[in-house]
Structure 1
Amino acid sequence: MTPELQEQEERLQFDRFDHDDAWGLGSRLVGLARERGYAVTVDIRLGDQQVFHYALPGTSADNDDWIERKIRVVRRFGHSSYLVGQGYRDAGTTFEERQPHLDPALYAAHGGCFPIILRGTGPVGTVTVSGLPQLEDHRLVVEALGLLLESKRTG
């Protein structure tokens, strides 16, 4: 699965990403979640600034905590939180075992946070979903990123 996750990060890159794009991505994620009856929280950051945040009914402050923990993993390692965790699982271990100096109350290598990557620049922000099983959180983010990029191409 790791090669597929790496391919996603190569494919899901932007030429530019601004506040309006954050609104479009966040709104798309909220729309997909509503259509499917998902209780999730959506968060988008550009640098250190939170530019989109929405919690659907059925979520709680726990989802906000998961979001912060996933974001720290993406910022530290530069890859999606699911890819980081999967890399350890593929090696027959866990993130927590291999990174004992990182407090699990602050870091969660669980799916749902994806770097917002600018082609030629690298990560400039994050998009995060919390509320579903980790693979489903990850897949929802990847789907919405793909839809936004496609709409920008056909625009």
Structure 2
Amino acid sequence: MTTSPRKLGVPPQAILTNVIQVDEILAQEKRVTLLHFNADDAFELGISIRNRLRELSENPAVVNIILANNQQLLFHAILRFGFSTWAAHNMFDQGDENTFKARFQLGEQAGDYAIHGGGFAVRVQAVEGPVAAVVVSGLAQEEDHQVILECLQVLLDVQK
């Protein structure tokens, strides 16, 4: 007998840049601040995300976890601003790239930053700024975000 996968939670989202929703997204991200993050933790997080994605969809998906000192473009927005791309997406009129570019005066570097859900900063207690970034792509952007959030919560629960 097969069981159906448990439903994915619904992340908060701004409706016409509703600041309350953005604040809720940022608060959720803060709640999953880990006690530590090393190679074993990254591996466990990656496996957890992979397994969760396979429960939710038969479609292919990409999972990438990288340390904060790496220079891959996918992670620039997460590492520069310190919050998820889903939060950024909701801060700027549902992903308005021009508003985002103007707000941070990115000029020609605007293409280095993405504000679509699926990128998430990994934080560790007593460490300033993100220590790593996780990017998931394969579901709708808000679902990519939610998978990361839920799997980070599982990892945090194990660490406690």
TM range (shorter): 0.7 to 0.9
Q: TM-score, normalised by structure 2?
A: 0.74
1:30-109 equivalence runs, <5 A: 30-37=50-57, 38-48=59-69, 68-89=72-93, 94-99=99-104, 100-101=106-107, 103-109=109-115
The higher relative CO (CA closer than 8 Å, separation ≥ 6) is in 2
Q: Could you tell me the TM-score, scaled by structure 1's length?
A: 0.76
Give the greater-gyration-radius structure (CA).
2
Cα shift at 1:103: 4.0
In structure 2, do the counterparts of structure 1 residues 15 and 81 end up closer, same or farther at CA, with 3 Å as the change threshold?
A: same
Measure the CA separation in 2 of the matches of 1:121 and 1:129.
Answer: 24
SS at match of 1:13: coil
Q: Give the strand-richer structure, 1 or 2.
A: 1
1:149 is the counterpart of 2:153:
no
Q: Note if contact 2:123-2:131 (Cα within 8 Å) is conserved in structure 1.
A: yes
Task: Give the deviation of 1:27 after TM superposition.
Answer: 0.3
- The number of equivalent residue pairs is 135
Structure 2 residues not aligned, in runs of 5+? 1-20
CA distance in 2, matches of 1:76, 1:139: 21
Moved more, 143-152 or 101-110: 101-110
Relative to structure 1, the CA distance from residue 110 to residue 70 in structure 2 (aligned partners, 3 Å threshold; closer, same or farther) is farther
8 Å Cα contact 2:42-2:65 kept in structure 1: yes
- Give the alignment of 1:115-154 within 5 angstroms: 115-122=121-128, 123-153=130-160
Opposite residue 47 of structure 1, the aligned amino acid is A
Q: Percent identity?
A: 33
Q: Cα deviations across residues 40-63 of structure 1 (Å, max 9, x unaligned)?
A: 10011123359xxxxxxxxxxxxx
Asked if the contact 1:70/1:109 (under 8 Å) is kept, the reply is: no
CA distance in 2 between counterparts of 1:20 and 1:44 reads 12
Structure 1 residue 106: Cα displacement? 2.3
Q: By how many angstroms is 1:149 displaced?
A: 1.1
Q: Distance in 1 between matches of 2:49 and 2:39?
A: 15
Task: Tell me the C-alpha RMSD between the 2 structures.
Answer: 2.3
Give unpaired runs (5+ residues) of structure 1. Answer: 51-67
